[in-house]
Amino acid sequence: MTYVPDRITRESRRPEHGPVEGELWPVEPGRYRLVAALACPWANRAIIVRNLLGLEDVISLGLCGPTHDERSWTFDLDPGGRDPVLGMERLQEAYFRRFPDYPRGITVPAVVEESTGRLVTNDFPWITHDFFHEWREHHRADAPDLWPVALRDEMDRVMKRVFTEVNNGVYRCGFAGTQSAYDDAYARLWVALDWLEERLSTRRYLMGEAITEADVRLFTTLARFDAVYHGHFKTNRQKLVELPHLWGYARDLFQTPGFGETIDFEQIKKHYYVVHRDINPTGIVPAGPDPAVWLEPHGRG
C-alpha cells in the first residue's frame, strides 16, 4: 500500500524528523478533521495519540462505522449517514476531491481539510508522529513525552519489529493463501510475542517506566488479539489472557486515560467478521469474549 505522503508541519516548514515526499500543510487549529474508525487498529493509534496529547479541541474527529464495501468506509454512525462537519456519506469523497482518479484503497486514518473536504494525508505512521512533533504548541500541559530523545534510536528498532512482526504479523497469518505461508507467518508472530513477553517481564512499558508511541502501536493489536486475531486470523497458540506480562501490560494501558475509551469491541468484531467474507463467509459475529476482564487489576503499577 502506498499512502499520500503529505505532512502537516509548523508554518509549513520542513520538519526536523523524517522525509518529506509530498506537500507540506501548516499547523492550524480548527482546520483539519481526523477521520478514523474505532474498528481499525491503524486508525485507533491516531485517536489514542490525539487523546493523550490533548488535541481534541484542535483537530476534530469524524468516525466511520465498522463495516464497509469495496468502495469506501462510510459515515453510517452519524444521523442521516453523513459526517456532520464534512457533509459526506463516504470517506471516498474526500479522496476524490483531492485526486479525482485516486487508484488505491480508501483507508483510515485520514486527515481531511474541513473547509474544502479534501484529503490531506492518510500516511498513518506520520500522522501520529507529527501530532507529537509538529503540534507541540497545542498539547495539553501534562501531555506525555511520546518520543523521548534519549530513547529514539532504540524506539525505532522496537517499533520496526512490532510493526513487521506483530501489527502486520497477525494479518500475514489471517490472509495466508497457503499452509506454508501461514506456518511461516505464525512462527514469526510467536517469536515476536515471546520476545515482548520477556521484555515486559522487567519493565512496565516497552521503553521503560513511561508510555511512548511504541506502546500505542503495540496496544491496538493486543486489544484485538483475543476478540479477533486468535480465532479469525488463526493466531491461536495462546490467548493474550494466557500471557501474564503482555496481558497485564495490555490491561495497564487499557485502564490509562486515552486508551480504553477508544476500544469498542463490538465494532471491532463486526468489522473483521463481517467485512472479511473470504475468511468468514457466514458473516456470523462471535458473542465473546467478555470485555469486563479488561478492567481487572493489572498489578503493574
The residues, any chain, with a CB within 8 Å of residue 56's CB and separated by 6 or more, are 50
* Catalytic residue positions, numbered: 40, 171
d(CA 73, CA 107): 8
d(CA 91, CA 102): 12
Task: Give bridge partners of residue 183 from the DSSP assignment.
Answer: none
How many residues does the structure list for the chain?
Answer: 301
* Sign for the pseudo-dihedral over CA of 195, 201, 205, 210: negative
CA neighbor of 52 nearest in space, from 44, 64, 42:
44
Cell of 296: 481487572
Q: Cα Rg for the chain, rounded, in angstroms?
A: 19
Q: How many CB atoms lie within 10 A of CB 68?
A: 22
* Sign for the pseudo-dihedral over CA of 142, 129, 43, 61: positive
